[in-house]
Structure 1
């Protein structure tokens, strides 16, 4: 990733991106909190501004990178740290990495932050703070309904723990707000940090 066209003296042919400083923006929150929707809305805006952006969607990672892992605490930790590893490598090469991943345990998120800090790569933890009642109402994947019917167990925030960040870099209150409004707040936050 990073700057393309730098071999053979062609770097000048490509306009410089507005900000080539990479970072990982980790969006944590309950299932159906709006993390992925928000990430893709922000990604579209950042790309339109010339930034190189990758979205590491938690569901896609589960399918292609963490296939075979279950939902035990240990497996969840492994999944999160794998995503953190990939995110840091991309961010270190100037990519804005958006990771809409539940990451329910504080120690797992801390491990990802520590990896970034050790590499000198920026990591921002964004808490998409949607109340569980609203998440259950949205129920994008039907998980809350299935849990209520007794078809599944271990749903994060219902019958499995979710450790909300005590002091995230930004806490986004999404209740009663349009996606565009939340995306604009997050974009403004990144702009303040010199990342947009």
Structure 2
């Protein structure tokens, strides 16, 4: 596509959501996605539990590619393999935010904290 109107003007990012339990990670991921969508951002949630064969490396690569193309890729995943994902994002200069839902009183509060970190870095 050579039409400049088709290009996203917002930088993308990967948001890696960790913490326990899975239900809180998912709630935070989808709460964040809803808020970003309401702001007109392009968002996707990569839920590894939709594909049981997916691992952190594959999810991290998919999220990085999406983020480099202007999407906010939210990954509600455990901490396994997070170091490699973080390093890959740093090496490519792709924005990366880690969010632990255990640091907050509710998944929604965690989503708001991540939202502030994503929006203020535009």
TM-score band (shorter)?
A: 0.7 to 0.9
Of 15, 23, 33, 1:43 maps to 33
In the alignment, does 2:98 pair up with 1:117? no
Question: 1:182 corresponds to which residue?
Answer: 110
Gaps of 5+ in 1: 1-5, 68-78, 130-171
Greater shift in the superposed pair: 47-56 or 24-33: 24-33
2:35 match: secondary structure: helix
Question: 1:93 corresponds to which residue?
Answer: 69
Q: CA separation in 2, counterparts of 1:89 and 1:102?
A: 20
Question: 1:22 corresponds to which residue?
Answer: 12
Question: Structure 1 residue runs of 4+, over 6 Å off?
Answer: none
TM-score (norm 1): 0.55
Q: CA separation in 2, counterparts of 1:128 and 1:182?
A: 6
Residue 33 of structure 1: how far off its partner (Å): 5.4
Q: Which structure's relative contact order is higher, taking Cα pairs within 8 Å and 6+ residues apart? A: 2
In the alignment, does 2:104 pair up with 1:173? yes
Q: CA separation in 2, counterparts of 1:115 and 1:181?
A: 28
Q: Contact 1:33–1:128 (CA<8 Å) still a contact in 2?
A: no
Q: CA separation in 1, counterparts of 2:108 and 2:97?
A: 20
- The superposition leaves residues 1-47 of structure 1 with CA deviations (integer Å, 9 ceiling, x where unpaired) of xxxxx54x471xx7x86x61011000011233511111111111111
TM-score (norm 2): 0.85
Question: 2:51 corresponds to which residue?
Answer: 61
RMSD: 2.2
Question: 1:70 corresponds to which residue?
Answer: none
Q: CA separation in 1, counterparts of 2:110 and 2:77?
A: 17
Larger Rg: 1
